[in-house]
Amino acid sequence: MKRSILFLLFYSGLCVAQAQDAVYQQPPKEAMAYREFRQKTTIPPYGLENVKKQIAAIKDKPGESGDEGISALPDAVYQSLSPREKFTYTMIHPEMYAQNCDINMIHPNEHKEIFGYLVSEGDEETWSQRQLDFLRGNRDSVMAWIRESANRSRRMGVNYKNALVEMDAWEMIPYIIDFYTANKKDKDLLTVLMLLMKRGKFTPFVQSSSYKKLYGMEGNHERALDYNKANENLIITRAQTYYKKRKHS
């Protein structure tokens, strides 16, 4: 995705500038590679060619400062898309953009950590209100398309994970756990489980030391837990309990 490329270019420049001060230490290759992996999106196949054609005709509307703006299909064109095409459009083309100087730095041990937030948080592109309304208003279909697409590609991009959080897709918890345990490379799936419990204000999680570290007074997008078996099991066990509670409530 172009956003990942832009970030890495910016980050490389930052590395060079800071290296000149003999202070900054470039993260190891494993951490750099894992950040790139975390930023990857999944491109849905549904009506992709038509959606790409429509996106190519969009004329951006910058705001007064020029640092932010809207990049959206005219409403008549947007409404002419099928539901699956709207899903593809939303996943590959967030309609709002804004310059963001608050870049999350790559941790030296990023590949060995479980973050409290997904890496795309604070990115320069965000979904518009009509795109969020589409996701939330069609959550059953969107969850089914995400499962269908992820099963086919065997990966779940950050755009899919963000959509699950935005939709409060707690019904997907068993699927997310199974998807994670099949590979365990994508520790951001554990992040999604925590964000769903956070969104649902699940008391055992909200009162935990993990929650205070990640989302408390000093919590921010840089905060992470060490990746180890104990933390992994705790997150999964809590998420399973939360799912059962929501299902029977």
Rounded Cα distance between 81 and 88, Å, is 10
Where is average pLDDT lowest: 118-122, 177-181, 210-214? 118-122
Q: Residue 180: its pLDDT value, please?
A: 98
pLDDT tens sequence across 29-75? 999 999 999 999 999 999 999 999 999 999 999 887 767 899 999 99
What value does the mean pLDDT take over residues 7-13?
Answer: 45
Q: Are the CB atoms for 113 and 235 separated by under 8 Å?
A: no
Q: Which residue has the higher pLDDT, 113 or 222?
A: 113
pLDDT tens sequence across 68-109? 899 999 999 999 999 999 999 999 999 998 876 666 789 999
Q: Residue 100: its pLDDT value, please?
A: 67
Q: Are the CB atoms for 119 and 39 separated by under 8 Å?
A: yes
Residue 178 confidence class, pLDDT cut points 50, 70, 90 = very high
Q: Measured at the alpha carbon of residue 193, what is the angle toward residues 103 and 227, in degrees to the nearest 5?
A: 70
Q: Residue 88: its pLDDT value, please?
A: 98
Q: Is the pLDDT of residue 179 over 60?
A: yes
